[in-house]
Structure 1
Amino acid sequence: MGRSARDIAYEHLQRGIANGEYPAGSWLREEDIAVAAGVSRTPVREAIQRLSAQGLVSIERHRGAVVIGWTASDLDNIYDLRVLLECFGIRQTTERKALLDEDALLAICDECDTLLANDGPQAGQLGQLCIDFHLTLYRGMGNRQLVAMLPATLDPPFVREAFHHHTHADLSRAFAQHREILEAIRLGDADWAEGIMRAHLRAGRHSLTRMEWTRPPGEPPASPDEPGSDRATA
């Protein structure tokens, strides 16, 4: 099944915010975004609402939607939260491994390895596969509340965008760590599994130092009525 127009619009905006096409302080114009993404305005409007819920866009009444952007502190906070949640989750998954869908996880690992072995692997596909790996991993712990919380930390724009900046060595290490985590779970060693997950997440955070983010602290977005501003039609 192909992607929905809503997903296409969301992924277009998500990537555009992460790579600077829609920088912090810029106003989102629905018509222009719809043309760029190849969808109608309705899914664009829905995508903007979704990004607003993630804290990436501010919707201002009678004015439109403006990109907020991320700071280095935001990135640290997200990854610190991921370490707390996922290290807790991996211990529960290890203790309740009977619920783990190991076949699905190994299939994801195999697909990642295949993409990486090919020339010019698709960064977007790799990003989605890694998100799928983490979500599938934690569904095996039987904690519905934690599983419901994880997508907000796993899928902000910079996580997907990071895959366009990872080196081959970065990706090889990350995929090897996925398999090592599964081996630790298989052996019932929660300390090992947690240690690898912690290293895996910290390496992911440090890889983002190759990317630049956000407007300077305290710099307000330009008014949509100022010359040259890009006003949203929300």
Structure 2
Amino acid sequence: MAEDIYGKIRALIAEGAYLGGDVLPESELAVRLGVSRTPIREAMRRLQAEGVIRREAYRRAVVVDLDPNEVIHIFTARAALEPIAVGMAMERMTQAFLDNLARLHGEMDEVVHSSEPDRRRYRDLNARFHRVIWAQGDSAVFAELVNLVARKPVVSPTFNNWTREELIRSNRQHGEVLDAFGVRDAEWAKAAMASHLLASRANYRRIGLNRSTRGADVDWTYEPETAT
């Protein structure tokens, strides 16, 4: 049973049910998986040994954020692969596809312009925006390849340490990709997607620089900005 519970918790993290910085309450997991807390504790010890979770004050378990330097490599690879996915999607574009992208872009715009942006929601909508494009290319193999690069096997990059300005710029770039699709300009769409991903890479460079400057023991949980 312990192996099965370990696999299920690992899958929940990989699927984004729990993100970097999220607490993993043993009681909540026990109810969710329909087991006692004993196999949960065994699985958590294994995940901690693998570096997937860490223990904080009062022994609470927290999902570990990816090292910003590792995320940089992920975005470098995505900037090479996703423009190809954009070209494939352009060849099979439909009005339903455009409407779906427009809806996701609009929802993300609401998030980034709210008084306290919900970074979890933005992360989920952002992932859906990109996946819609991968899927439109109608190649399950290529979509899975991009997905494997975009998502580390266990923990995915989050937006926890992005500034509001970076979130707004990110969604503005989504809008440019959408505009390029709207006029069926494949070269523009590819360039816009590459630019978007390289800008995201630059954000993680900033995060990594701040981390090295302030020290590796800094708590990287996002603190909401103060309204000015």
What is the TM-score with the length of structure 2 in the denominator? 0.65
d(CA) in 1 for partners of 2:87, 2:96: 12
1:140 is aligned to 2:136: yes
Report the Cα offset of residue 212 of structure 1: 4.5
Query: Pick from 28, 49, 65: which aligns with 2:49?
Result: 65
d(CA) in 2 for partners of 1:99, 1:149: 26
1:181 is aligned to 2:177: yes
d(CA) in 2 for partners of 1:197, 1:34: 40
Superposed CA deviations along residues 70-113 of structure 1, whole A, max 9, x for unmatched, are: 55653333112211210111111122213861221111111111
The residue aligned with 1:93 is 89
After the TM superposition, which of the residue ranges 200-209 and 67-76 deviates more from structure 2?
67-76
Report the Cα offset of residue 146 of structure 1: 1.3
Q: Against the structure 1 CA distance between its residues 115 and 194, is the aligned structure 2 distance closer, same or farther, given a 3 Å change threshold?
A: same
d(CA) in 2 for partners of 1:65, 1:41: 24
Query: Pick from 3, 8, 15: which aligns with 2:20?
Result: 15
CA contact (8 A) 2:79 2:194 kept: yes
d(CA) in 1 for partners of 2:71, 2:186: 27
1:39 is aligned to 2:29: yes
Q: Against the structure 1 CA distance between its residues 73 and 207, is the aligned structure 2 distance closer, same or farther, given a 3 Å change threshold?
A: closer
What residue ranges of structure 2 are gaps of 5+ in the alignment? 1-7, 53-63, 213-228
Give percent identity, aligned residues only: 19
CA contact (8 A) 2:98 2:182 kept: no
CA contact (8 A) 1:79 1:202 kept: yes
Question: Matches of residues 129-208 of structure 1 in structure 2 within 5 Å?
Answer: 129-156=125-152, 157-160=155-158, 163-208=159-204
Does the residue aligned with 1:101 lie in a helix, a strand or coil? helix
After the TM superposition, which of the residue ranges 107-116 and 70-79 deviates more from structure 2?
70-79
CA contact (8 A) 1:97 1:186 kept: no
Does the residue aligned with 2:117 lie in a helix, a strand or coil? coil
Superposed CA deviations along residues 34-81 of structure 1, whole A, max 9, x for unmatched, are: 24xx211985989x99xxxxxxxxx69xxx732178556533331122
Amino acid at match of 1:129: L
Report the Cα offset of residue 8 of structure 1: 9.8
d(CA) in 2 for partners of 1:72, 1:7: 21
RMSD: 3.8
Amino acid at match of 1:65: A
Q: Against the structure 1 CA distance between its residues 71 and 107, is the aligned structure 2 distance closer, same or farther, given a 3 Å change threshold?
A: closer
What is the TM-score with the length of structure 1 in the denominator? 0.63
Superposed CA deviations along residues 107-126 of structure 1, whole A, max 9, x for unmatched, are: 11111111222211210000
